[in-house]
Amino acid sequence: MSGDPADLTIAEAAAALRSGALSAADLLAAVRRRAGATEAQLHAYLTLDVEGAERAAEAADAALSRGEDPGPLAGIPLAIKDNMCTRGIETTSGSRLLAGYRPPYDATVVGRLRAAGAVIVGKTNLDEFAMGSSTENSAYGPTRNPWDPDRVPGGSSGGSAAAVAVGSALGALGSDTGGSIRQPAALCGIVGLKPTYGLVSRYGLVAFASSLDQIGPFARTVEDAATLFEAICGHDPSDATSYRGVPPVVRPTLEAGPEGLRVGVIAELAGEGNEPAVLAAFGRTLEALEVAGAEVREVSLPSIPYALDAYYLIAPAECSANLARFDGVRYGRRLPGDTVEQMMAATRRDGFGPEVTRRILLGTYALSAGYYEAFYGRAQQVRTLVIEDFARAYGRVDVLVCPTSPTTAFAIGERTEDPLAMYLADVCTIPSNLVGGPGISLPVGRDGAGLPIGFQVLAPPLGEAVLLRAARAVEVLAGFAARPALATSEAR
Amino acid sequence: MPVPIDIAKVARLARLALTPDEMEAYGAQLGAILEHAASLQALDIQGVPPTAHPLPMLNALRPDEVEETLEREEVLAQAPDRDGPYFRVPPFMEDE
């Protein structure tokens, strides 16, 4: 077959595997070659599961040669963010505290991908415990952007985004608490989907903020993201917050197009505060949607300016409670201490990096006696206002849109000294985590430096069908086909 | 105005053995973040119910049946210190 198999979409690779034009072993070898050629610069992966991937590829080839149809993901090389448990394979969550931790079980999503015949290439880098927007907070060093290695890939799922963008995986899983799938997808020029809260099991995901966390896929096309979503969604009795109804059916309406689609532009997020190139690409996409028959109108969500502050109280508060489990008793590194409290305090001081420490302190403060009502309680009330604003808007439009990130990929080190500035850049992605509805980012253009620009679509909870239909329509209209320099051999 | 914080108390509650320099630095950063968050204090939200969870959900219950559990040896193999089938930790109370 022509071209490098590492550049195939999941749909193309699945077809090639079925026609016999490609074997799962050759596909895995191509992805490994790409990783071998790019990892020294990118550092997308923390761990490669060489033997496990080979076994899975062999099993897929054996099933195909017997004439079986092992499903749409059989033999497809995928990457997993390193905050999802993989049995017997190191799972660090980007933290020194969990160095060497080998979970005794697979996360439900990992088990579902394995059962679907997927080939799990390895575990990808992330901001420690998924806290960050640049993947610079990893205890194992930053991941770099395949479009420009002097820039960040976004975060916290930066390793998964970089791997899919460069071709060292055909798809990947990430987790999104305040934008950690959508923002790196935007900065790396690929598709990133945060499903509705509760639609994808979080059993085996290292918890950050339990009322916000959601696992979702990265891919190079909307269709591939839909395929991965279908494989991982659905009720899981092991996750008490798992949605118990039937998940949305997305495939039949994927190609329904933009005609008649009611698109609301979020006034508070689609104007000043965004870089001119981001706004220009966003505006061009809206015009194309309108020409193609969508009804585009502006929608105001007055609580949006408060959503960020509410988020940066709620998320740290939940983080401080969740990360209490890292106490040096059951897993991970331990530092010595004369008493249990001294051992725990020394272990945690040594094991957590600055961003995680900052958020634990912030959350502990916001939950402490005398401040609970003023900070956490108030933030929860503001969350209600944000939910009501979105519900009103969805009474008039099918989907809401805005840029995914106000800027394209920024330079490594540019924002690390100013945590507040890093937080403020999450303004476009945070509201949908507070609301619980799905969101997706897809590339629609590039800025003057050639860096990709993301377009975000949001839908009401369980609205994945209309979300993916709208995203697919935008994908067709934008016709984004560029690949990062590192993905092409000339640049290496 | 940055919000003043008793950072030593917060660090103790969070079980983080921070140095005095670290406490000063984190205290200043938290003050700036909380100053920004003060925007919420200006909102009139009296009577608005708080949201703890984005979707309406009741308790998840299942039949109380015996199921397979994790392998004890595989779990204990991850412990920093153990004593047979137990996790081992330093004393809870200092000697009097």
Q: Which residues of A67-77 are buried (b: 16+ CB within 10 A; e: fewer)?
A: eeebbbbbbbb
Tell me the percentage of chain B whose pLDDT exceeds 90. 59
Residue B95 has pLDDT above 80, yes or no: no
Q: Is A81 a catalytic residue?
A: yes
Residue B56 has pLDDT above 90, yes or no: no
Is residue B2 situated within a structural domain? no
Counts of helices then strands in chain A (DSSP H, E)? 15, 11
Is residue B69 situated within a structural domain? no
Is residue B11 situated within a structural domain? yes
CATH homologous superfamily for the domain A5-268+279-300+389-491:
Amidase signature (AS) domain (3.90.1300.10)
Could you give the dihedral angle defined by the CA atoms of residues A311, A317, A318 and A324, in that order, rounded to the nearest 10 degrees? 150
Q: Is A489 a catalytic residue?
A: no
Is residue B96 situated within a structural domain? no
Give per-residue pLDDT as tens, B4-29: 789 999 999 999 999 999 999 999 99
> Is residue A129 a contact partner of residue A208, using CB atoms and an 8 Å limit?
yes
Residue B57 has pLDDT above 80, yes or no: no
pLDDT of residue A69: 81
- Rounded alpha-carbon distances, angstroms, from residue A93 to A182, A347, A395: 19, 16, 39
pLDDT of residue B94: 65
Q: Which of A160, A180, A242, A441 is catalytic?
A: A180
Range of the structural domain that residue B36 is part of: 7-42
Q: Mean pLDDT over residues B31-52, rounded?
A: 90
Give A-chain residues touching B17 at CB under 8 angstroms: 342, 345-346, 348-349
H or E element that contains B83: strand B82-83
Q: Which of A101, A320, A420 sits opposite B36 (nearest CB)?
A: A420
Residue spans per domain, chain A: 5-268+279-300+389-491
Task: Using pLDDT thresholds of 50, 70 and 90, give the confidence band for residue B2.
Answer: low
- Is the overall model pTM greater than 0.80, yes or no? yes
- Long-range contacts of range A50-56, CB-CB < 8 Å, 24 or more positions apart? A52/A89, A52/A120, A53/A28, A53/A77, A53/A119, A53/A120, A53/A121, A53/A122, A54/A25, A54/A28, A56/A24, A56/A114, A56/A117, A56/A118, A56/A119, A56/A120
Q: How many domains does chain B have?
A: 1
Mean pLDDT in consecutive groups of 10 residues from the start of chain A, 492 residues = 88 96 98 97 98 97 91 95 98 97 97 97 98 97 98 98 98 98 98 98 98 98 98 95 95 98 97 94 98 98 94 96 97 95 97 97 94 92 97 98 97 88 89 98 98 98 98 98 84 56
Between A and B, how many CB-CB pairs are < 8 A?
170
Q: Which of A305, A362, A461 sits opposite B33 (nearest CB)?
A: A362
Give per-residue pLDDT as tens, A10-63: 999 999 999 999 999 999 999 999 999 999 999 999 999 999 999 999 999 999
H or E element that contains A123: strand A119-124
pLDDT of residue A378: 94
Q: Is A180 a catalytic residue?
A: yes
Q: Which one of B3, B24, B55 makes the best mutation probe of the A interface by having the most chain A beta carbons within 10 Å?
A: B55
